[in-house]
């Protein structure tokens, strides 16, 4: 199967003892595209991310990064194939400084303490500084990560992911718990990543989705209900109906 897409999902499904949380999902995400995954609670968005990243094994269908099949591969192999995932709950090293967190993450070898003593090449140092700048963390570079605000912690974790240069970024509700100002800044950061990375973003906040969205895939009961630009999605009758129970799309 030859393709130039970054991520190809073909008839993917997972059967949890008779319940298909993801039920025949097909989706093609182009290189450099930002795809938003929408859907009411329980639609299967997180499970789909789990299947792509290897956290959960599928019971049918296939997943490709470019031409490389990663269906049900080990999580580390999927990460090596170019997929980086950011969860809702950040996992930064709270006792280390912001800069040290990025330094440790820039080395693709396990062992936090071993990496701390290492010498960094000038290109690695430049990369750390440019990520600090990109994430708006220059002023707090020498603060311990445990002292950061919620928004800053999320940006640091995004930076820690980016420094590993994944081709595809999976972001699970990146603005959850953020203030309006933090959400706006996150949309600016994400908009700058478009084109350089392929992004799949699960998000509920429609105001945020309007700031970042290109194409949207709407999931409902484990299936793809609709796919298109935000204007198409907001006026789609099936989408409106699926969202009625949760108050509609706002």
Positions in the binding site for ligand ATP (CB under 6 A): 16, 19, 21, 39, 41-47
Q: How far is CA 148 from the centre of its chain?
A: 21
Give whichever of 43 and 162 is closer to ligand ATP, judged by the CB atom.
43
Give whichever of 194 and 204 is closer to ligand ATP, judged by the CB atom.
204
**Shortest gap between Cβ of 50 and ligand ATP (angstroms)?**
7
Give whichever of 19 and 117 is closer to ligand ATP, judged by the CB atom.
19
**Shortest gap between Cβ of 29 and ligand ATP (angstroms)?**
18
**Shortest gap between Cβ of 42 and ligand ATP (angstroms)?**
4
Give whichever of 45 and 127 is closer to ligand ATP, judged by the CB atom.
45
Distance CA 83, CA 178 (A): 25
Give whichever of 83 and 219 is closer to ligand ATP, judged by the CB atom.
219
| Torsion on CA atoms 189, 190, 196, 202, rounded to nearest 10 | 160
**Shortest gap between Cβ of 24 and ligand ATP (angstroms)?**
14
Give whichever of 41 and 122 is closer to ligand ATP, judged by the CB atom.
41
**Shortest gap between Cβ of 203 and ligand ATP (angstroms)?**
10
**Shortest gap between Cβ of 243 and ligand ATP (angstroms)?**
12
**Shortest gap between Cβ of 141 and ligand ATP (angstroms)?**
33
Give whichever of 190 and 242 is closer to ligand ATP, judged by the CB atom.
242
**Dihedral (CA of 175, 181, 184, 189) sign:** negative
């Amino acid at each position: 199967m030859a393709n130039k897409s970054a991520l190809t999902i073909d008839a993917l499904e997972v059967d949890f003892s008779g319940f298909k949380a993801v039920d025949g999902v097909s989706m093609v995400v182009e290189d450099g595209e930002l795809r938003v995954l929408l859907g009411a609670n329980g639609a299967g968005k997180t499970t789909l991310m789990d299947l792509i990243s290897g956290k959960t094994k599928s019971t049918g269908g296939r997943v490709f990064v470019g031409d490389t099949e990663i269906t049900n591969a080990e999580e580390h192999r999927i990460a090596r194939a170019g997929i980086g995932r950011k969860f809702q709950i950040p996992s930064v090293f709270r006792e280390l400084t912001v800069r040290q967190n990025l330094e440790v993450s820039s080395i693709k070898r396990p062992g936090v303490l071993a990496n701390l003593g290492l010498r960094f090449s000038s290109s690695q140092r430049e990369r750390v500084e440019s990520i600090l700048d990109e994430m708006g963390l220059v002023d707090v570079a020498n603060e311990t990560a445990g002292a950061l605000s919620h928004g800053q912690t999320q940006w640091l974790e995004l930076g820690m992911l980016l420094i590993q240069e994944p081709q595809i970024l999976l972001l699970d509700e990146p603005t959850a718990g953020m203030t309006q100002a933090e959400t706006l800044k996150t949309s600016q950061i994400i908009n700058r990543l478009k084109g350089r990375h392929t992004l799949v973003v699960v998000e509920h906040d429609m105001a945020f989705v309007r700031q970042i969205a290109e194409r949207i895939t709407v999931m409902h009961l484990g299936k793809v209900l609709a796919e298109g630009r935000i204007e198409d999605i907001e006026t789609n009758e099936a989408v409106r109906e699926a969202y009625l129970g949760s108050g509609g799309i706002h």
